[in-house]
Amino acid sequence: MEFIKIKTPLNVNVDISHAGVGRRLVAFLIDMFLIFVYIWVVSYFFFSVLSLNFDILDSKDSGAVFDLSVFMEILYLILLLPALFYSLWTEMLFNGQSFGKMILGIKVVKLDGYRAGFQEYFTRWVFRFVDFWTGLFMLLFLIPIFGEELAYLFAWLMFMFSGFVAFISIIRTKNSQRIGDIVAGTTVLKLKEKQSIDITILEELHEDYVPRYSQVMRLSDNDARIIKDTLTQAKKRRDYKTIERLRKRLETVMDVKSEQGDWDFVETVMKDFNYYTQKM
């Protein structure tokens, strides 16, 4: 399994597994299916249920019928906008996840581990036209040169292979990034599939537990999650250097000097954090 290194707010490098190209491809196909269904439903409603015919716009007649047709055509185009901006509004609304990404358990984050914002999501959305839809743009340039029939053939072939731009970029870049990710400074990570007490900030405490470091209240919930995740990963890999760096950073942030060993100190900090937060 491949990992990317993310420097946390506590200046500790944590290895997190990125989403493989397979997961991202399936998530993309799920999203495309949802977009297709949405467009089909909207189009069916306008053309089959309402039996509208926008060709009336070509008529020279004027009046209420013409005005209604203009209104309905504008309404139809407006209702298609959610499909056009699908990845942008879903990732904004669901913190880096489209519906496909939710199902596959992956999400978009910045390379430094922080939550991406509108600028990053918008950049990724813009470059989807490079990563996935190159053929559609090439069509605009090929029609004047080769004529419609040959241009459509070329564009269709390019369209079929357009996804390979993203595919090649993901498998060839260090952090599994498509071009949009590279420009936006983001990547797609795989979320943990199993949640247990070992990978949450919760610690089992005895009723008679006595805390040692009241300074843990200088830490935030996000800090505690990072510490817990780092501790869990370090235990699995017996990564003593990471725990040593984490211990030094915690002593600096909390302004304490402990005689405990590195592992015991970090575990005590987690227990103390839970003790004081549970008492609040």
Burial class (CB in 10 A: 0-12, 13-18, 19+), 87: buried
Mean local confidence (pLDDT), 35-59: 75
Dihedral angle of Cα 129, 79, 35, 175, to the nearest 10 degrees: 40
Return the structure tokens found at 165.
């731009």
Does the pLDDT of residue 38 top 90, yes or no? yes
Return the structure tokens found at 272.
């103390």
What is the pLDDT, as a whole number, of residue 153? 65
For 62, the domain range is 3-131+174-190
Q: Are residues 215 and 88 in the same domain?
A: no
Among residues 21, 3, 23, which one has the least CA distance to residue 13?
3
Q: Are residues 40 and 115 in the same domain?
A: yes
Are 184 and 218 spatial neighbours (Cβ–Cβ below 8 Å)?
no
**pLDDT tens digit sequence for 136-195:** 556 556 656 666 666 566 666 666 556 778 888 888 888 888 999 999 999 898 876 443
Please calculate the CA angle 143-147-149 and round it to the nearest 5 degrees: 100
Does the pLDDT of residue 197 top 50, yes or no? no
Q: Are residues 184 and 124 in the same domain?
A: yes
Q: Is 70 helix (H, G, I), strand (E, B) or coil?
A: helix
> In the chain, how many domains are there?
2
What is the pLDDT, as a whole number, of residue 148? 63
Question: Whole-number mean pLDDT of the chain?
Answer: 77
Within-domain flag for 217: yes
Does the pLDDT of residue 125 top 90, yes or no? yes
Within-domain flag for 61: yes
For residue 9, name the pLDDT band (cuts at 50, 70, 90): very low
Are 166 and 131 spatial neighbours (Cβ–Cβ below 8 Å)?
yes
d(CA 117, CA 181): 13
Within-domain flag for 141: no
Within-domain flag for 158: no
Q: Which secondary structure element, helix H or strand E, spans residue 108, and what is its range?
A: strand 106-110
Within-domain flag for 55: yes
Within-domain flag for 138: no
**12: alpha, beta or left, given left = phi > 0 and alpha = psi -120 to 50?**
beta
Does the pLDDT of residue 27 top 80, yes or no? yes
